Amino acid sequence: MNNEKRREIFHRLREANPEPTTELAWSSPFELLVAVALSAQSTDVGVNKATTRLFPVANTPEAIVNLGLDGVKEYIKTLGLYNNKAKNLVAMCELLQRDHAGEVPRTREGLEALPGVGRKTANVILNTAFGEPTIAVDTHIFRVSNRTNLAPGKNVDQVEQKLLKVVPRDYKRDAHHWLILHGRYTCVARKPRCGSCVIEDLCEYKDKGELT
C-alpha cells in the first residue's frame, strides 16, 4: 500500500468521525488508567458498568487503597480475572501514592513500572489522557492493519512500529481510535461489513464480503 492511499484512508476516517475517542467512561487520567487496566478480556460496556459503581466511591489512588482488596473485588467482580485485576489495582495505587504523589505518570517508563500496566495500556494513557501520538495495537487494530494491508505485521509489536512509521503525522494522534472503532464496528472479525465501509475501494483485502 502506498502513502497516498494511506493518507486518503485516514482522511476518510476523519471525515466520518472528526473527534474519535475511547468508549471507556472516564473523567481524569487516573480513572482512565483504572478503566484500561480493567479492560483486559472484558468489554468496554462491562468495564463501564463496573466503574459506574466504583468511581463514585473511589476514584483516587488513596480511596482505592482505603477500600482495600476485598472492597475493590466487590465492585469489579462482574469482570473476568477480577481477583488478579483487584490485586494489581491496589498495588498500582500504593505505588502511585508512594512514588508519584498520587498522580498518573506522563512517561512510558513510569506507566509500565505500574503493576498490571504493559505497553498497550501505557500507549492508551499517553494517547488518550495526555495527547501523545502513540498507537496501542489491540486485536481490532492488528486485524484492520493486516486485512487492509495498511500496516501488515506478524505480531502487535511489528504492527505498532509499522503504523508509527507510515501513518501521516497529522493523523497519528487519533489513528488509534479510528482503527479500533473501524475494527469494532465495520471491519469485524468473522465477516467484514465491506458494503458499509468508507474505505472499501482503498482496502487491499482480497476477499471482500458484503454488508450483513
Q: Is 157 a catalytic residue?
A: no
User: For residue 169, what pLDDT is reported?
Assistant: 94
Residue with the three cell numbers 491496589: 90
In our burial notation (b when 16+ CB lie closer than 10 A, e otherwise), range 179-206 reads: bbbbbbebbbeeebebeebebbebbebe
User: For residue 211, what pLDDT is reported?
Assistant: 46
Q: Is 120 a catalytic residue?
A: yes
CA distance linking residue 178 with residue 202, whole number of Å: 16
**CATH classification at residue 139:** 1.10.1670.10
Does 123 lie in the same domain as 173?
no
Does 182 lie in the same domain as 102?
no
Residue 168 belongs to some domain of the structure: yes
Q: Binding residue per annotation — 187? A: yes
Residue 94 belongs to some domain of the structure: yes
Residue 212 belongs to some domain of the structure: no
Residue 7 belongs to some domain of the structure: yes
Residue 74 belongs to some domain of the structure: yes
User: pLDDT by residue for the chain (212 residues), tens digit each?
Assistant: 999 999 999 999 999 999 999 999 999 999 999 999 999 889 999 999 999 999 999 999 999 999 999 999 999 999 999 999 999 999 999 999 999 999 999 999 999 999 999 999 999 999 999 999 999 999 999 999 999 999 999 999 999 999 999 999 999 999 999 999 999 999 999 999 999 999 999 999 988 755 44
Does 109 lie in the same domain as 42?
yes
Long-range contacts of residues 174-177, Cβ cutoff 8 Å, at least 24 apart: 174/14, 174/19, 174/20, 175/10, 175/135, 176/123, 176/124, 176/127, 176/128, 176/134, 176/135, 176/136, 176/141, 177/20, 177/21, 177/22, 177/128
User: For residue 100, what pLDDT is reported?
Assistant: 96
Boundary of a domain, candidates 84, 99, 130: 130
**CATH classification at residue 126:** 1.10.340.30
What is the DSSP code (8-state) at residue 141? Answer: H
Q: Could you tell me if 101 and 60 are in contact, meaning their C-beta atoms sit under 8 angstroms apart? A: no
Does 166 lie in the same domain as 87?
no
Which residue among the candidates 5, 73, 138, 208 is catalytic per the annotation? 138
Residue 207 belongs to some domain of the structure: no
User: For residue 33, what pLDDT is reported?
Assistant: 98
Reference 148, options 170, 120, 178; nearest CA is 178
Residue 211 belongs to some domain of the structure: no
- Range(s) of the domain holding residue 186: 3-20+134-202
CA distance linking residue 187 with residue 141, whole number of Å: 10
Which residue among the candidates 120, 162, 172, 174 is catalytic per the annotation? 120
User: For residue 212, what pLDDT is reported?
Assistant: 46
Cell reading at 110? 513510569
User: For residue 192, what pLDDT is reported?
Assistant: 93
User: For residue 206, what pLDDT is reported?
Assistant: 87
Q: Binding residue per annotation — 93? A: no
